[in-house]
Amino acid sequence: MSDAAANDAVIDVRGLTKRFGELTAVDHLDMTVPRGAIYGFLGPNGSGKTTTIRMMCGLLSPDEGSGTCLGFDVLHQSRLIKEHVGYMTQRFSLYEDLTIRENLEFMARMYNVPNQRARVSQSLKELGLETRGNQLAGTLSGGWKQRLALAAAIQHEPQLLLLDEPTAGVDPKARRDFWDHIRQLSRSGITVLVSTHYMDEAVQCDYIAYIAYGKKLIDAPAADIPALSGLHTWRVEGKGLDALAAKLRGAAGVEQVVRFGTELHVSGTDKDALSQTVNHAAAQDGFKLTLQPASLEEVFIHLMNGTEGAS
């Protein structure tokens, strides 16, 4: 990242480390997050994503390392950081025996939001909750609970929004609506950190960091990730894909074979060996072959396979 971008960083941390007993959950991690970005955290369960996000934002004290968040020291000014952060957890954490409006009123008091009655009404309107204000939170579906949780996280107008697996358990339409709201927030200047396992959400992010077993493996603008991975992919179309997949698995240059609907995606980092193997295996059966850039999903699978082999 350039010096100019670094100077406008919302988060700038170096060497963050967190241990729980003998387990090193995060291992000397460096990261710089530019203002207004949507920054995605990917990685297998237990990889340290949530721990990393919490340390970077002063919600959890690191054992080693230093840095700033929103201009405040993550080690010594965590209380000041929290005043400017909105946090939406994976599990619904508001009060199910209160109404939507009562939950928002409670959160407004917690953050000393000025003009609380007006701000709560505005939150209800912005998230499409106006007609449900008197409904008990516990009776809401997953998608509506998600809207309420987002409204509660942003009504104090935070500069930084943390989203921990925010769309787990909600339907595709609710996920699309949710990401429309997140894009609007980003355009207004709010920086967003989001951990996710969904590839269609990863492509919504401006930057992506992949973390496994406490170590950051890759960290770059989303558009640059496929090239940085060194992965090449052949798309194969035709009949008999299952038989071809069995033939290709474990062959020279082939590191992964994945079925995507009516296509087979065959990937590897040795482009010449991969191309020779794919062309030889598919040449006699009339398959259509196309060499294409690796997708984020293929890179994700590649990185997961690598970390599983190293564990």
Laid out side by side, the sheet with 263-268 consists of 256-260, 263-268, 232-237, 288-293
Residues 241 and 262 in one domain: yes
Element (H, E) at 228: helix 225-229
Q: Which of 178-187, 194-203, 231-240 has the lowest mean pLDDT?
A: 194-203
Q: Determine the pLDDT at residue 5.
A: 44
Tell me the pLDDT tens digit for each residue of 139-196.
Answer: 998 889 988 999 999 999 999 999 988 877 777 888 888 888 899 999 999 999 998 8
Residues 84 and 107 in one domain: yes
Residues 97 and 239 in one domain: no
Residues 124 and 209 in one domain: yes
pLDDT at 3 over 50: no
State both tokens at 90: 């994976």
**Structural domain for 266, as ranges:** 232-293
Residues 128 and 247 in one domain: no
As for how many domains the chain has, the answer is 2
* Residues counted in the chain: 311
Please indicate whether residue 51 or residue 285 has the higher confidence score (pLDDT): 51
Residues 31 and 142 in one domain: yes
Sign (positive or negative) of CA dihedral 174, 179, 180, 181: positive
Query: Mean pLDDT in the chain?
Result: 89
pLDDT at 209 over 70: yes
Q: Determine the pLDDT at residue 90.
A: 77
Q: Determine the pLDDT at residue 97.
A: 94
Q: Determine the pLDDT at residue 177.
A: 86
Q: Which of 66-80, 227-241, 297-311 has the lowest mean pLDDT?
A: 297-311
Q: Determine the pLDDT at residue 172.
A: 80
In whole angstroms, give the CA distance from residue 280 to residue 84. 58
pLDDT at 117 over 50: yes
Q: What is the 8-class DSSP label of residue 61? A: -
pLDDT at 200 over 80: no
| Residue whose C-alpha is closest to residue 256's, from 289, 295, 305 | 305
Which amino acid does the sequence have at 76? H
State both tokens at 176: 């699309």
Residues 214 and 264 in one domain: no
Band of the pLDDT at 4, cuts 50, 70, 90?
very low
Residues 241 and 192 in one domain: no
Tell me the pLDDT tens digit for each residue of 269-297.
Answer: 999 999 999 999 887 678 999 999 888 88
Residues 193 and 67 in one domain: yes
Residues 276 and 221 in one domain: no
Residues 73 and 89 in one domain: yes
Mean pLDDT of 32-50: 88
pLDDT at 137 over 80: yes
